[in-house]
């Protein structure tokens, strides 16, 4: 069983850029780490870049000679981790070097997600024990150096993301785009000055690629000089520049969205429930699902006819001169006559409120 906070869920967020911005604040600890480390300075600071959409380079896969287990041995470290597999893994190659890939970040996040139930020291201690037990000494040392950098990054990222926003401009699309782009640039700069290039790419490469794609898409949608066709063409081009896994996921979501919109159009434009059913099947929806939808639409159409007859009855049959209480009693009797089912009567009462 995967941990509920699995890093594999990152890409299910509607706007991954927002997840990127919030990423610096995921691990709010009850007390600071003792002797906090400073970000590594092995990579020179680079100026913020112009955001572009470009495919991330493919990373060669190193042969694995050592790795941590898929599940924690012994009792769970925290109740939230009980019965779950460990997200990611620590791996080493035949030369005893740590294989730095996205699974290392997932591994760190799995244990750090329990902070709150356990102390930060306990989470870090378990990572250290597993690294020392299952990896060569050199890889275990690399793991702790990288973890130290990751913790320092998270602490500093919290400060980076605490920029005050102008409340009067929060709903302005151009201000949103500028603010998000600035935040992404600062986070990217921080990551570059904290991690080695390989670790930066492994930990954040896919996330940043999707964030930049999101920013590019927002900018295209806001561009008044582009036609609808031009916008669609440019967005599809930016989508094609995503790394392979993200590109496939985004294309699948795009196809699903188009199919969803087509199905909604069918429901809105069809002349009858049966007509809607035929068109939904043509769009690839399963027969059993369509049958349920047709039944529901037919029920709604039958209700509309019943309600129309009920309104006519109120207008033509209600005796004149009734007191208010008698009018309510008369309407209630008509409701029960035209809508024997309690649920239908509830819908009719709601429709009456909308009509008044």
pLDDT tens per residue, range 57-85: 555 566 888 999 999 877 888 999 988 99
CA 156 – CA 152 distance, rounded (Å): 6
Does residue 14 register a pLDDT over 60?
no
Opening angle at CA 147, ends 145 and 152, nearest 5:
100
Residues 44, 154 share a domain: yes
Domain count, the chain: 2
SS3 300: helix
Is residue 243 assigned to a domain? no
Is residue 257 assigned to a domain? no
Residues 289, 348 share a domain: yes
pLDDT at 49: 36
Q: What is the model's pTM?
A: 0.61
Is residue 267 assigned to a domain? no
pLDDT at 318: 61
Average pLDDT, integer, range 249-278: 87
Cα 261 off chain centre by = 20
CA 6 – CA 10 distance, rounded (Å): 8
Residues 74, 163 share a domain: yes
Ramachandran category for residue 28: left, alpha or beta (phi over 0 → left; psi -120 to 50 → alpha): beta
Is residue 199 assigned to a domain? yes
The CA radius of gyration of the chain, in Å to the nearest whole number, is 29
Average pLDDT, integer, range 27-50: 33
For the chain, where are the alpha helices, taking DSSP H only? 16-23, 102-112, 120-134, 137-160, 173-194, 197-222, 228-240, 244-269, 273-282, 287-317, 324-338, 342-355
- How many CB atoms lie under 10 A from the CB of residue 262? 14
pLDDT at 12: 32
Domain residues for 304? 273-355
Opening angle at CA 205, ends 230 and 95, nearest 5:
150
At 324, is the pLDDT very low, low, confident or very high (cuts 50, 70, 90)? Answer: low
Is residue 230 assigned to a domain? no
Q: Which pLDDT tens digit goes with each residue over 123-172? A: 999 999 999 999 999 999 999 999 999 999 999 988 877 777 778 887 88
Is residue 251 assigned to a domain? no
Residues 111, 198 share a domain: yes
Residues 326, 198 share a domain: no
DSSP string for residues in 11-26: GGSS-HHHHHHHHTTS
Is residue 237 assigned to a domain? no
Residues 156, 29 share a domain: yes
């Amino acid at each position: 069983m995967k941990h509920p906070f699995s890093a594999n869920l990152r890409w299910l967020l509607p706007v991954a850029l927002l997840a990127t911005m919030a990423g610096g604040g995921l691990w709010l600890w009850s007390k600071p780490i003792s002797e906090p480390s400073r970000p590594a300075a092995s990579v020179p600071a680079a100026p913020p870049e112009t955001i572009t959409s470009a495919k991330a380079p493919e990373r060669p896969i190193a042969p694995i000679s050592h790795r941590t287990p898929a599940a924690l041995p012994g009792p769970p470290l925290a109740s939230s981790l009980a019965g779950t597999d460990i997200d990611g893994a620590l791996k080493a190659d035949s030369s005893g070097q740590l294989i730095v890939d996205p699974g290392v970040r997932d591994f760190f996040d799995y244990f750090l997600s329990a902070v709150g139930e356990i102390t930060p020291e306990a989470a870090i201690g378990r990572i250290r024990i597993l690294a020392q037990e299952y990896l060569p000494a050199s890889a275990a040392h690399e793991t702790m150096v990288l973890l130290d950098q990751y913790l320092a990054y998270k602490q500093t990222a919290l400060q980076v993301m605490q920029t005050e926003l102008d409340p009067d401009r929060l709903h302005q699309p151009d201000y949103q785009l500028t603010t998000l782009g600035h935040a992404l640039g600062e986070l990217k700069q921080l990551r570059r000055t904290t991690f080695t290039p390989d670790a930066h790419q492994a930990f954040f490469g896919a996330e940043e690629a999707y964030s930049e794609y999101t920013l590019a898409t927002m900018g295209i949608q806001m561009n008044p000089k582009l036609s609808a066709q031009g916008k669609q063409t440019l967005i599809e081009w930016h989508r094609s520049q995503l790394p392979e896994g993200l590109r496939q996921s985004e294309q699948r979501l795009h196809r699903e969205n188009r199919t969803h919109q087509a199905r909604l159009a069918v429901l809105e434009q069809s002349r009858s429930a049966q007509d809607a059913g035929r068109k939904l099947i043509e769009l690839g929806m399963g027969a059993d699902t369509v049958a349920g939808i047709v039944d529901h639409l037919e029920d709604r159409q039958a209700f509309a006819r019943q309600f129309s007859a009920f309104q006519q009855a109120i207008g033509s049959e209600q005796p004149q001169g009734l007191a208010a209480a008698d009018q309510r009693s008369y309407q209630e009797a008509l409701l029960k006559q035209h809508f024997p089912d309690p649920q239908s009567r509830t819908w009719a009462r709601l429709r009456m409120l909308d009509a008044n």
